[in-house]
Amino acid sequence: MPSAEFQGHLCVSIHDVAPATWELCERLLAAVSAVANVPLTLLVVPAYHGDSRDLPWYDRELACRLALGDELALHGYVHLDQGPPPRSLRQRYARHIYTKGEGEFAALTEQEAARRLALGRQWFACRGWPLQGFVPPAWLLGEGGWRALRASGLLYATTWRHFHFLQDAAPVEAPSLVYSSRNAWGRALSRQAVSWAGIGQRNAPLARLSLHPRDALDARTVRHFQRLLESLLAYRLPATKAAFACYWLDRVARPAVGEIAI
């Protein structure tokens, strides 16, 4: 395992965490822990597809993950695109074909985005859980969503290509390593693409491995990300997204006392 001084980091996240997906999330958690006990960032959807029920068993599961050192981040509020109709073929493809209509924050007004962020923050606060980060569903975030997010007081947000600091630092380019699972052909192609991308990012300051509940359904994908995780841990320090954000802001983005920023 790299030392704490090593600047190459790895963030592993599990998307779409909700009661409806928890069984598959548990399978992913077990697959990761079979390789190593690393801190994870769980991307939680408070009212996934409109289901806002309070379920004590689910809260206990998430509280247990916090106690183990994982982070809980906000991943939208309902994980459904309920914004106005797309205005171009490109928007239609991104919002309703590529993402299957789950890019919740792709086209919201600033006011509506702020309302949903507030609902998400309230959901966390009611449980006494810390919240520092936001990841838009399908990594789609429109202008209104960006404005609301920058006024939210949260520490960071991530899109597919970048790790964004919401206050006073430039983003870090860190394309996510993510699998496709729509069909066997797509899964095989994505495994190869992830392998190539991992090689290309070997010297990057941050690598991001993003897992989705449906990844647990394909044994070859599970074996692939386990091997990938093992290889990344040989030279990277695992951290939650919040921990990486604090490290980057404290040690890299902000100059030391007496140092002149150029």
Q: What is the 3-state secondary structure (H, E, C) of 135-200?
A: CCHHHCCCHHHHHHHHCCCCCEEECCCEEEECCCCCCEECCEEECCCCCHHHHHHHHHHHHHHHHH
Residue listed under structure tokens 């290309």: 200
Measured CA distances, 10 to 36, 97, 197 (Å):
13, 30, 14
Distance CA 150, CA 162 (A): 15
Characterise 137 by phi-psi region: left (phi > 0), alpha (psi -120 to 50), beta (else): beta
Distance (Å, whole) CA 9 – CA 241: 10
State the pTM of this model.
0.89
Exposure string (b/e) for 19-43, b if CB count within 10 Å is 16 or more? bebbebbeebbebbeebeebbbbbb
Whether 215 and 26 have beta carbons less than 8 Å apart is answered as: no
Rg (CA), the chain: 18
Query: What span, in angstroms and rounded, lies between the C-alpha atoms of 201 and 89?
Result: 32
pLDDT of residue 144: 96
Angle at 153 between CA 150 and CA 158, to 5 degrees: 55
d(CA 209, CA 230): 12
Residue that has been written with the tokens 């919401």 in this structure: 166
Q: Which amino acid is at 82?
A: Q
With a cut of 50, list the residues of the chain below it in pLDDT. 3-6, 93, 256-262
Task: State residue 198's pLDDT score.
Answer: 86
Q: Crossing angle, helix 184-200 and helix 219-233, to 10 degrees?
A: 10
Domains belonging to the chain, first-starting first, are: 9-253 (3.20.20.370)
**Predicted local confidence at residue 192, as pLDDT:** 86
193 backbone dihedrals φ, ψ, rounded to 5°: -65, -40
The pLDDT value recorded for residue 188 is 80
Q: What is the pLDDT of residue 131?
A: 98
Helices (H), the chain: 22-33, 56-67, 89-92, 110-126, 143-150, 184-200, 219-233, 241-248
